[in-house]
Chain A
Amino acid sequence: MKLLDSLRFRLATLFQRSQMHTEMEEEIRSHIEHRADDLVRSGLNRAEAERRAHIEFGGREKCKEEIHEALGGNFVGGLLQDVRLAVRVLRKSPGFTIAALLTLALAIGANAVVFGIFNGMILRPLDVPQAESLYGTEYGNNPGWQSYPNYLDLRDRNRSFDGLAAFSFVFPGFDTGKDPSGSSGYTTSGNYFDVLRIQPYLGRFYHAADEHGPNSAPYVVLTYAFWHSRFQDDRGVVGRTIFLNKHPFTILGVAPPGFHGTVSFAFIDFFMPMVNEGQLYGGSELDKRGSNTVVFEIFGHLKPGVTLTQATADVNAVGAYLEKTYPQDFSHKSTPLSRQGLTAFGGAVTAFVAGLMLLAGLILLAACANLGSLFAARASDRSREVALRLALGSSRKRILRGLLTEALLISLAGGAVGLLGSVALLRRLSTWQPIAAAPARLPVAPDAKIYLVALLLAVVSGLLFGIVPVRQVLRANPYEIVKAGSSARGGRRITVRDVLLVVQIAICAVLVTSSLVAVRGLARSLRGNFGFEPRNAMLLNADLAQAGYGGDQTSAMKRRIFDAMGTIPGVEHVGWVNDYPPLAYGSNFRSNVYKDETTDLRQTNSAATPFRYNISPGYFEAAGTSLLTGRSFSWDDGKDAPPVAVVNREFAVKIFGSVPQAMGRDFKLQDGTRVEVVGVVEEGKYLSLNEDPQPAIFLPALQSPSNAFYLAVRSQRDPEQLAAAMRSKMRELDEGLPVTISTWKTVLSLVLFPSQMATVSLGVLGMMGAMLSITGIFGMAAYSVSRRLRELGIRIALGAKRKEVLQAALGRPLKLLAIGSAAGLLLGILAGKVLAYIVYQANPRDPLVLAGVVLAMLLLGLVATWIPAQRALSVDPLILLREE
């Protein structure tokens, strides 16, 4: 009640301010007249009495001000007054205002963008009910959970989840009857939508009850975006039949608009039951416990009251049980559970974004240091004005409030500009598809939180740099300043401004260091040895199942494509690899391998789990992988020939001790097949650029057929022309088979994406750091020159040389620059560990980086001091001395 009353009163005073004002005025007048009446009675004449009464009363404005203050209703009115004054003051120095505004807009904008990424990728849960209790396995963390029978066991044996759903990805040909094309979808367990507790936008979802064993539920549910783009929001699609890899499926419904699956950066087209996946590829892995290709991740809502630790223990207990029961097919590794959405990238993304936030925070800090020193400089320039106001009876509180209002005004305006820019940038980012062939986007569309954060940043930074001159004002002694004038002290003392400048330059040097480190890291990862040569190579990707091929047809068709590509003029080598080549989209297959003498083939006994590729003859030549010893495959290594393998050096050393010892020896696969090593190739990168040397084996593609493949074509020809020639050959062979043709480098874009992202973001931050240090040094140098113009004039008049003048004018800023850069460089080197999270092959001790940083800071110093130096040199002592 009291609060309400007080609020009402404050509002009332605000609106009735003018009315109250006249009332006060009248009351004071009445008071003075009564006093004058008394004085007249004591013998003064009327005029003299009124004069005396006025004097006795004292300052009427002050009295009114005090009344307002006593009523507390002064606040809003005073604030408006402060704002008006601040706007006037700022408009008087537009250069300063614009520079300060831009600095803050950039700094706050950068922070808002980074926060937007953090918010979108990490904070924001999936758009499903109660997303906070949704936990699941991470892809790749424990391959055992990627088999369907193991999923069923986990689903039925756990006691921690309210239902467990599973999903994986599928990329079939999608045909509505007229325009077949590639598509991307989820294969899911029947209970997927029910576990997620979501409702369809249109039609219905499929449920667990719709499944009755393999290929029993030929249904699809479209995502809203795909329904919108492919079916133009046609509400009649429900019940229609479409074809996936030439097999009929019925559209059941459309998912709600915000929902695009349970991987936050994957934007897919449809959902279909997992039990029907076999239909698409003419063979099912559903019943194979050892297969790790069916399930991507398993997730569910924790039951109320169950903690994450309990659930993890529960899942691991089921894992241990499964390993004991099926030693051949399952080796259990401790499984962590994580939030759904980022899958295995969670850790890396979090580290990357945390690193970015740190650097962006540094930018803001540097900007605040920059503005703080500018404000301090202004405050000392205005010390005369401040002294006058103090002498005239203004309170220090009021003056400080004015200064803080100016600072906050600038920071809020800068924050608003920065926010607008960052929202626009985030909108662009969220529609950008960084990897042409993959349906992945960054889920970073801005939401309300970002406005709040920007406001907070603006206020905090405004207070931060607004507070710098406070001490100056508090200590100001009006009488001294008015007496002595403002230019008195040219002292050698270390001022707050010096410290701020050093801090700022140090931060900028750290940023420049990190951006150079990132650029070097990217350059190195581009030049690194992949174990194949992506230059001058095209990749043709197709999935024969999409055109209805199956069984023996696939091998024959691939051979035809192989031969056709070989006839294109200028093509040197052709070869294919089943499924995916190394370093493509993070996809890989690994197999358990046993030493020849091992007889108990339980998974825990395996000697290695190498990457496994099934390749055609000619693949090594086409890929540019060098054969160290032995032979590669020929067309004779067919279905009925003895099983052979080419292994990489790492594998040869790990299993057999050395490369020569490996030749002609045997090893065993999971199913007991003995395979003879006939050749050894160099090792390469298979899953990610920063992996340690990994074992890999290559088996003849003819011995393990598959529908999907990448065919490599090596040629010196122009990629455009070559792609056109390849496409026309494919049309001759089969017009109905969707193919993707791209350079090998394009396919590498996913593995290069992190370092490219890091380079771009660090590059931008580094540039901003550089700009900030330019404005900082420039401000300092310009200020020091303008403060000492008279002294410089006298020096010139007394015959000082150019060099001496420059030294006098700019020695200090340059010395500060040197100290700051050295400190920043040191910090940058120490920050190498942080950088290693963000950048592949980060090495800030790299001599080139060090030289680059020193050079960059020198250049920055030169650029920033150029104009002040010119001004110092052009001082005309006569004019200057005459002026004062």
Chain B
Amino acid sequence: MNDQAQLLPGTLDLLILRAVSLGPLHGYGILLRIGQISGNALLIEQGALYPGLFRLVRQGLLKANWGTSENNRRAKFYELTVAGRKRLREETDSWNRLAAAIASALSQQPEEV
């Protein structure tokens, strides 16, 4: 457990969008997918996922439909809307820029300044 990183505020939405961008998923599936694509390095409480999901639906970035899961159970599937896809692109770009900037700042050696 200890090697799992806490999420930075605001990054959960980005992760959800990213997870769903690979295909429609239900809530539990999104959780698994995030674990999978992050190499199980990120800790997300199971209950904490849903407020984010509902918010994204409300913002029109995701749409939700009831369907049947691979386990043959009723589940609500989320997929990206066009706006969601656009938002994911923007957020990914700005995250990359931020991450690069921070990484660069942290890797500077004293004599280079």
Chain A interfacial positions (CB closer than 8 Å to B): 9, 23-24, 26-28, 30-31, 33-35, 37, 56-60, 62-63, 66-67, 69-71
* Contact partners of B28 in chain A: CB under 8 A: 30-31, 34-35
Does B46 count as interface, using CB distance less than 8 angstroms? yes
User: What is the minimal beta-carbon distance from B75 to any residue of chain A, in angstroms?
Assistant: 5
Those 10 A-B pairs whose CB atoms lie nearest each other, nearest first? A70-B51, A34-B28, A63-B47, A58-B47, A66-B51, A70-B55, A30-B75, A31-B28, A57-B46, A67-B54
* Contact partners of A62 in chain B: CB under 8 A: 47
Q: Determine if B46 and A56 form an interchain contact, defined as CB atoms under 8 angstroms apart.
A: yes
Q: Determine if B55 and A60 form an interchain contact, defined as CB atoms under 8 angstroms apart.
A: no
Given A66-B47, A67-B54, 11 more A-B residue pairs with CB atoms under 8 Å apart are A9-B58, A24-B50, A30-B28, A37-B71, A57-B46, A58-B45, A62-B47, A63-B50, A63-B51, A67-B50, A70-B52
15 A-B pairs with C-beta separation under 8 A: A23-B76, A27-B75, A30-B28, A30-B73, A30-B75, A31-B27, A34-B69, A35-B46, A37-B71, A58-B47, A62-B47, A67-B50, A69-B51, A70-B54, A70-B55
Does B97 count as interface, using CB distance less than 8 angstroms? no
* Contact partners of B26 in chain A: CB under 8 A: 30-31, 34
The interface residues of chain A, by DSSP majority, are classed as helix
* Contact partners of B89 in chain A: CB under 8 A: none
Does B74 count as interface, using CB distance less than 8 angstroms? yes
* Contact partners of B27 in chain A: CB under 8 A: 27, 30-31
User: What is the minimal beta-carbon distance from A631 to any residue of chain B, in angstroms?
Assistant: 100
A69 to B47, CA, bound (A): 14
* Contact (A71, B47) CB under 8 Å given A34-B28, A34-B71: no
A66 to B69, CA, bound (A): 26
Give residues 38-57 of B contacting A (CB, 8 Å). 45-48, 50-52, 54-55
Of all chain B residues, the one with the shortest Cβ separation from A24 is: B50
* Contact partners of B74 in chain A: CB under 8 A: 26, 30
User: What is the minimal beta-carbon distance from A359 to any residue of chain B, in angstroms?
Assistant: 52
* Contact partners of A59 in chain B: CB under 8 A: 47
A65 to B51, CA, bound (A): 9
User: What is the minimal beta-carbon distance from B113 to any residue of chain A, in angstroms?
Assistant: 43
User: What is the minimal beta-carbon distance from B112 to any residue of chain A, in angstroms?
Assistant: 44
A637 to B35, CA, bound (A): 121
Of all chain B residues, the one with the shortest Cβ separation from A59 is: B47
* Contact partners of B29 in chain A: CB under 8 A: 34
Kindly name the residue among A31, A33, A59, A69 whose own CB sees the greatest number of chain B CB atoms within 10 A: A31
Q: Determine if B52 and A58 form an interchain contact, defined as CB atoms under 8 angstroms apart.
A: no
User: What is the minimal beta-carbon distance from B44 to any residue of chain A, in angstroms?
Assistant: 12
User: What is the minimal beta-carbon distance from A109 to any residue of chain B, in angstroms?
Assistant: 45
A70 to B52, CA, bound (A): 7
Of all chain A residues, the one with the shortest Cβ separation from B76 is: A27
Q: Determine if B73 and A27 form an interchain contact, defined as CB atoms under 8 angstroms apart.
A: no
A63 to B27, CA, bound (A): 13
* Contact partners of B52 in chain A: CB under 8 A: 70
User: What is the minimal beta-carbon distance from B11 to any residue of chain A, in angstroms?
Assistant: 16
> Beta-carbon contacts of B69-92 to A below 8 Å, as 1s and 0s?
101011110000000000000000
User: What is the minimal beta-carbon distance from A29 to any residue of chain B, in angstroms?
Assistant: 9
User: What is the minimal beta-carbon distance from B67 to any residue of chain A, in angstroms?
Assistant: 11
* Contact partners of B55 in chain A: CB under 8 A: 70-71
User: What is the minimal beta-carbon distance from B17 to any residue of chain A, in angstroms?
Assistant: 16
* Contact partners of A60 in chain B: CB under 8 A: 47
A58 to B26, CA, bound (A): 19
A71 to B48, CA, bound (A): 14
A30 to B75, CA, bound (A): 6
Q: Determine if B73 and A67 form an interchain contact, defined as CB atoms under 8 angstroms apart.
A: no
A26 to B67, CA, bound (A): 13
Residue A28 contacts which of B45, B48, B50, B73 (CB distance < 8 angstroms)? B50
Of all chain B residues, the one with the shortest Cβ separation from A69 is: B51
* Contact (A67, B71) CB under 8 Å given A30-B76, A31-B27, A31-B46: no
User: What is the minimal beta-carbon distance from A776 to any residue of chain B, in angstroms?
Assistant: 46
Q: Determine if B73 and A34 form an interchain contact, defined as CB atoms under 8 angstroms apart.
A: yes
* Contact partners of B47 in chain A: CB under 8 A: 57-60, 62-63, 66
* Contact partners of B75 in chain A: CB under 8 A: 27, 30, 34
A33 to B68, CA, bound (A): 13
* Contact partners of A27 in chain B: CB under 8 A: 27, 50, 75-76
Q: Determine if B58 and A71 form an interchain contact, defined as CB atoms under 8 angstroms apart.
A: yes
A323 to B104, CA, bound (A): 90
Of all chain B residues, the one with the shortest Cβ separation from A20 is: B54
Q: Determine if B73 and A33 form an interchain contact, defined as CB atoms under 8 angstroms apart.
A: yes
* Contact partners of A63 in chain B: CB under 8 A: 47, 50-51
A63 to B73, CA, bound (A): 22
A59 to B28, CA, bound (A): 16
